[in-house]
Structure formats: C-alpha cells, structure tokens
Amino acid sequence: MQKKKRCDAIVRNLIFVLFVVIFSTTGCAQNRDRTMATVIEFDGIEFEMPAIAEPVIPDNSVNIKDFGAVEGGQVLNSKAFADAIDAVSQKGGGRVVVPAGIWLTGPIILKSNLELYTEPGALVIFSTDKDLYPVIETSFEGLDTWRCISPIYGKNVENIAFTGHGVWDGSGDAWRFVKRGKLTANQWKELVASGGVTNAKGDEWYPSEQFKKAHETANMNVPTGLSTREEYEAVRDFLRPVMVSIQNSKRVLFDGPTFQNSPAWCIHPLMVEDLIVRNLTVRNPWYSQNGDGIDIESCKNVLVENCNFDVGDDAICIKSGKDEDGRRRGVPCENLVIRNNIVYHGHGGVTVGSEMSGGVRNMHVSGCTFIGTDVGLRFKSTRGRGGVVEDIFISDIRMLNIPTIAISFNLYYGGMSVSELMASGKIEDFTRKEPVTEETPQFKNISIKNVVVNGALQAVVFQGLPEMPLENVTITDMLLVAGNGFSIIDARGVTIENIELKTNNQTAVEFFNSRDVKISGLSYPFQHTNTITVNGEKSGNILLLPAGNKNLKSFTSVGSEVPGDAVQFE
C-alpha cells in the first residue's frame, strides 16, 4: 500500500511539473525568453519571403517605480521612464516594466536592446502639454518636413519590443482638428464650448488660431512655404505627431498591448527591417482626422498578424514616400505578410498608398475580416507620385456591411475618403491622357481570390490611368453581394473567373477603355441586354465566355465607339 501511495505521489508531481511547463511555454508567451535569437519562417507564400528575426533583449529588468514613478495620472513621470531606460541601457539593454496604474509622461525616447513591458492594468497617458514635444526634422505624409517629436520616438535603433497587456494613450484629442459632420449636434456643441476656434463656415474646429492658419495653407497636413526650424516653430500647434515613430531601425516587435488615441497616425515604422506586429489592439475615435492604425513605410520583411483595428482613417496602410521626396529616398516597402487581422471602422481595411513613390512589392494578405470598414481592400495613388506597386497576393478575405466599395483601385486619389468623395459629387475626367514620366504611378501583377462580401455599395472598382492602365489583375472565386457589381476603367490584362455576383443594379459589369480581358464562370441572374456594358474607343480583346448554358452576347451592350472586333463571345 505504501509503495502504491509513493507511486501515486510521484505521478501527481510529474503531472504538476508537466502542467507548469506547458503553461509557461504556451499560456505565458509574453514572458518568453528574448535573450536568444529567434526567427520566423514562412511557408505557402507566393514569393520568396525571407525569415524575420525577432529582437534580442538582454536579461536585465527594472520597474519604473524604482525610479520614482508616481501613479495616478497627476504627476509627470518623464524622468522616471528615461532613468529606467538609461539603467538597462548601461547594462547593454533589457526590460522596463510598467506596472498596473495610470502613468502620465512626456515623450519616451527609445534606445537599442529595449523591451517596454506593460503589465495588465497599466495605462500610459502622454501629456497634453505641447511644450514637452520639441519640433524635429522627420517625415510625415511621405514628405521630408518638421513635426513635434512623437510621444514614442526611436531612430537608428535595434532590438525594440513593446509587449504586455497594457494601454498606451496618445491624448490625441488635444492635437486634432475635427469636422462637424463627424459629431452629433451635442458633441459639436460641447467641443466648441471647450475652447479653440472654428472656420468661417463653422464646420471645422481647431485647437487654436495658430493651428487654423497653418491648416488653411497646408498640403495634406504638411505646411507649405516653410524652410527653417524657426518658421515651423511658429506653427508648432499644427505639427501634430504620429504616436509611435521608429525610423531607420532593425528588429522591432509589437506584441500584445493596446495603442490608442493618437494625435495623427498611431504607429509609423519608417525604413524598418524585420518588423513584427501581432496581437495588438489599435483604436482611434472614428472622427479622428488622419487617425490611421499602422502606416508601414519603406519597410522590409514585415509580419502583421492577429491584430484588431478600429480607427478613424486607414487601418493597415502600406506606404513608401510621396512624390519627389519619396522617389529621392527610393526605398520600397517589400516582403510583407499580413494575415488573420480584423478591421472594424476605418477608411480602408488593408490599404496601399497613396504615398507609394518608392514602390511596393511582394505583399501577401490572407485571412482578414473587415466589418463596417469604409473600403475593404483599398489601393490608391495619383499622377505625380510615380512608383510601382507589383506582386500583390490577396486571399481568403471576409467583408460585412462595407459602406462604399469592397475592392477599390483608384489612381485619381485626391485626399478624400471614398465616402467624402461620393458625397462631394466630384467627377474626374477619365479620358485625358498625359505623358508617361517618372511621376506616373503603376499598379500591376495583382491576384485576389477567395473573397466573400456580404453587403457593400459596390463590389469592385478598377480605375487606372489612360496613360498607365492597371495591369495583370486576376480576380477569382468570390461571392459578392453588393448594390453594384464591377466597374473596370483603363485596365489591361484582367481575368474574372468563378464569381457569384448578386446586385441591385441590372448592369453587373461595366468596362471602359479596357483590353485583354477574360470573363468566365460568372454566376448572375442574366435578364437584361446591358448586364455587361463595354464602352471606350480604346477597348479591345475582351473575351466573354458562357455563363452556364447562356451565351453572354444577348446580355452585353457595346458602345458605338468600340472597335468592331473588340468583344468576342464563345
């Protein structure tokens, strides 16, 4: 009997040890050993995706309370954060722990080999005192400019990690202007009564007169006609920063926390190699101007997975500089895997552009869900940008209740969201052809498959340029339920295959000045002679294969200006 008891005790101890080991290696991923080099490798990606190295953080740890930090949100803890970072940096790096509590601070300057770990219940709030944020040379909206330093700022650093389960709050309401149409009547009344100024029309609110004057002459939030630091200092209230700015750096990890309420964009990695973003929650008020989630600019080897976004502008945005500044930098955004993310409100779920002058290539997007997002997949640029976007692979996407366009390519982007553009009634001249130069943007070699859209104003819009059509785009295996179907303008090399389309409009697919097009396997309740329309004298080599046993010729309207042999049926 005693022997059996000893055996039972040994078994129980072994089970307990095994439980501890399993829990420590799976349930506590946030506490994994970061002192050893770890790489993430990829299988099943359509291009040769390099392995991504995670940051290596030395085994040193300090707590901001040990450096005099006072919780409660009333005492400024900038020095405590700085001293804690210095303490681990002097030992070669390490972890700075932010415990549960409310912690008020000014800007945090990153150093190499640093992990900022926020415990559950930790809330870091950045001060609204703008004097704490000096004006520095930086990049914003793809342009070289001056802005107030970001609440979290790092340049030329390596091995940076943001981990834990706390919240980083950028106090963005103190910085942003607000459009009246984005608030209720009571909210607008309270905002105006709080101070600040409004424009002459009374439909925009600004934090100050200085902000208002700079805004009136700015180009996409960047002041024009200024060259010296002193001139920028004179409008510093307008120079709202991105919340997290990490530039020209290597091995950066975001894993676990919430980032919210940013003055402008929330997270802005610029020229970062080996960037990992996972398990984040990124939040901004839906009325927040330029309240993007993450803007990945000119970065190389990137993973974004298992994140939730609910923001005021584009959610996951891929960029590479704007116009001449972007072309001079000449650094593309390349080798990106974006998978298994959820986007709620936002102007775009996954967006490329409009600042893409350095190019974007090798991007895989899969397993993402967009719920109530203005546009699901949003590609945008305009004349003057230049740059090439190529080798984009998108699959297994789900969309629900998209207010405008589920899949949008727009090379006439002018700064408005699609909702705002539609409300304005502005219509571009889509027939004017301009010379092809280094300023001409190009989008090509794009594959989109296995997409379900349950509710949208329009399913798909392809809008190329007369001088540079969208090129080599394949759309396959989709269920699209939308008010309107396909609009394809100035595109070349388009394949539409195995699409089940349900719309409220008798026209399902319309082409204008597009060529080298093939449609097969289109499921649609064909009833009208204009179910498919083809217009534009540049149209050509359009092949429309039968839908089941229906020859599409009876359901296709061809404009008189279209060449006689441009459309073929089988």
Contact (Cβ atoms closer than 8 angstroms) between residue 127 and residue 171:
yes
Token pair 């993450």 is found at 294
Catalytic residue among 347, 364, 374, 391: 347
* Catalytic-residue membership of 528: no
Secondary structure letter of residue 222 according to DSSP: B
CA–CA separation, 354 vs 547, rounded Å?
37
Nearest to 146 by CA among 252, 249, 218: 218
Structure tokens at 181: 């149409």
Nearest to 507 by CA among 534, 535, 490, 531: 531
Nearest to 336 by CA among 45, 140, 142: 45
* Catalytic-residue membership of 33: no
357: buried, middle or exposed (CB in 10 Å: 19+, 13-18, 0-12)? buried
H/E run at residue 491: strand 491-502
DSSP states of 400-454: EEEEEEEEEEETT--S--HHHHHHHT----TT------TT--EEEEEEEEEEEEE
Secondary structure letter of residue 441 according to DSSP: -
Nearest to 323 by CA among 271, 272, 358: 358
- Beta-carbon contacts of 147 under 8 Å, excluding residues fewer than 6 positions away, are 135, 136, 138, 140, 239, 240, 241, 242
Catalytic residue among 313, 314, 374, 391: 313
Nearest to 331 by CA among 381, 297, 355, 301: 297
* Active-site residue list: 313, 347
